[in-house]
Amino acid sequence: MKQLHKISLSLLLALVICSCDGFLEYEPYGSPTSDNFWKTEADVRSALDAFYDYTNIEGVCGRGVFYYENCSDDMFTGRPQAPSDAYTCERFTMGATNNLDVNNTWPAMYRMINKANNILRYVPDMAIPDDVKSNAIGQALFFRAYAYLWLVPWYGDNSINGGIPIVTENTPLDNMDVPRPPTVLDNYNMIIADMREAANRLPLLSQMADSDYGRPYKTAAWAFAARAALYAAQYTDNSKAAEKHSSAEYHAMVVELCDSIINLSGPDKRELHQAPTGSELSNFADLFRWENNFSPEYIYSILGNENAGPKFHGMFFQAAGWGYYNTWGYFMPTLDLYNAYESEGDTQRRKATILAPGEHIQFMSHDIQWCVNPSLMYSESAMTNRKFMSVFADSSDIGKLFNVSGNNQSNRLAMHIMRYADILLMKAEALIWTQGEGNPTAKELINQVRKRAGLPGNSPATREALKKERRLEFAFEFFPSRHFDLVRWGDAQATYARPTEGWQIEVNGQTINKTIVTVRPARNFNPAKHHVFPIPDAEIRKSSNLKQNEGY
């Protein structure tokens, strides 16, 4: 925390998203308090572009960010040579000194918070047009709240540990090593307030130039405020927060904010993506194509291109890609997830999400029959991810849609952070938790998601039905997180007490025999400790006030 002072002169702006043309590159900018900065609109634009350096950090938008989600019952650590720290995370035995690159996230997000605070500190007094000033303030508020929302669920609580340090534009530059607030609700309340004010200042999507698609806008701010309120609602009413709300009040915020989005009309109307008539793909599978990054389901995504940006898409797929392209194979689906789809007859979402033995996928211009041709298969569960693999279908797109280097894997498929299906299911959850199971509006919301998946609109709108729908709709998408859902619902301990299963297969020609095997033993999740992860030890050592989470 002591290093959260000024944006470094050496900071490289790693690419800002600009519509379907991908990223634009910008020159590094100077210190925000230097004589040659905070003078012009161009300076403000450079400061706003600086927010996007996180998109190219491996621990934030690559393999690293998924080590925490890897704790869920949807996936487990692949690759025998994966660092042992990955296994300790998966098994809830990790310590603060682990070497996982997820440790990059804490400092990256506090750099984002610092950049936002500098804009909020200096831009209001600049001699620039009021509309430019207001928009810059809106973007800064958005990114500050976004950074906190990225960190808070993993590191803060409402009990023994408290929230995570709150640094604002009013925090003295020489005293930024602040202690943790007594409760994570102080963080969530700030996130909600920042996102609400950001929404007041930011345009609707229809009011933005195409070249600004990918930047913050009004609808996205409402959506993230709703997510913060949903996460805050898990805590009891007996809070130590400076501003107190009951769980019912937070759920009411969720409904109100989601309705702000649901009730949009005209060019700003959001709806579930539907594949074009005659498409070979299901409606759900078609959503995960780069051409649909800005479909009507878009709320907010992290974008990349063939040169830089998020790298996580291919990291789930078969290690080394049979020599066609160097995918990484770091994570593997569980049989429990596969069976959850099967129990619903949910074939469209399952086939779009998991590649199972005998199924086909187009990869680098090759028709791959998984486990059969080529027969080589690196997966302890005999399954791999296919949800994000469409961008790698054609080898002629190398250098056009995805990076020429398999050691990078940046590509033009969006990394979904918030989409309209989440708006529907967040509102449905808030209604079920406050109005009771079977709520008719919650039924209608859940059934919209089910019908898009090719399922009957017959949800009973129970708590268990809502939980399952979230799992099957968002599998392998880091936001929202399956692991954090299990933690906030109080389901993690029982869920992780079951062993992780997969298949062992034997192939004879086109015949595939599958035997259920245990691929990971049952895990001991202690809800009094493992509801949060350890703050990286390097950050603790920088601070005089930052307290490590209990037990780490």
List average pLDDT for each run of 10 residues in the chain, which is 552 residues long: 30 32 34 72 95 94 91 91 82 93 95 96 96 98 98 97 98 93 97 99 98 97 98 89 93 98 98 96 98 98 96 92 96 97 95 97 98 94 97 98 96 97 98 98 98 98 98 95 97 98 93 96 97 97 96 96
Tell me if 219 is assigned to some domain: yes
Q: Report the run of H or E that residue 354 belongs to, with start and end.
A: strand 354-355
What integer pLDDT is reported at residue 65 of this predicted model?
86
Token digits of residue 81? 């040579």
What's the helix, strand, coil split of the chain in %, to 5? 45, 10, 45
* Burial grade of 256 (CB within 10 A; 0-12, 13-18, 19 or more): middle
Tell me if 498 is assigned to some domain: no
What integer pLDDT is reported at residue 33 of this predicted model?
57
Tell me if 100 is assigned to some domain: yes
What integer pLDDT is reported at residue 4 of this predicted model?
31
What integer pLDDT is reported at residue 79 of this predicted model?
81
Tell me if 430 is assigned to some domain: no
What integer pLDDT is reported at residue 542 of this predicted model?
94
What integer pLDDT is reported at residue 16 of this predicted model?
33
Tell me if 162 is assigned to some domain: yes
Cβ–Cβ under 8 Å, residues 137 and 119: yes
What integer pLDDT is reported at residue 134 of this predicted model?
98
Query: Residue 125 is part of which domain span?
Result: 16-244
Tell me if 230 is assigned to some domain: yes
What integer pLDDT is reported at residue 84 of this predicted model?
83
What integer pLDDT is reported at residue 136 of this predicted model?
98
Count the domains in the chain.
1
Q: Which residues pair with 369 in a beta bridge?
A: 360, 373
CATH number assigned to the domain comprising residue 149: 1.25.40.390
Sign of CA pseudo-dihedral 385, 455, 449, 249: negative
Q: Which residue has the tokens 């925390």?
A: 1
Whole-model pTM: value is 0.94
**Omega before residue 480 within 30° of 0, cis:** yes
Phi and psi of 55, rounded to 5°? -65, -20
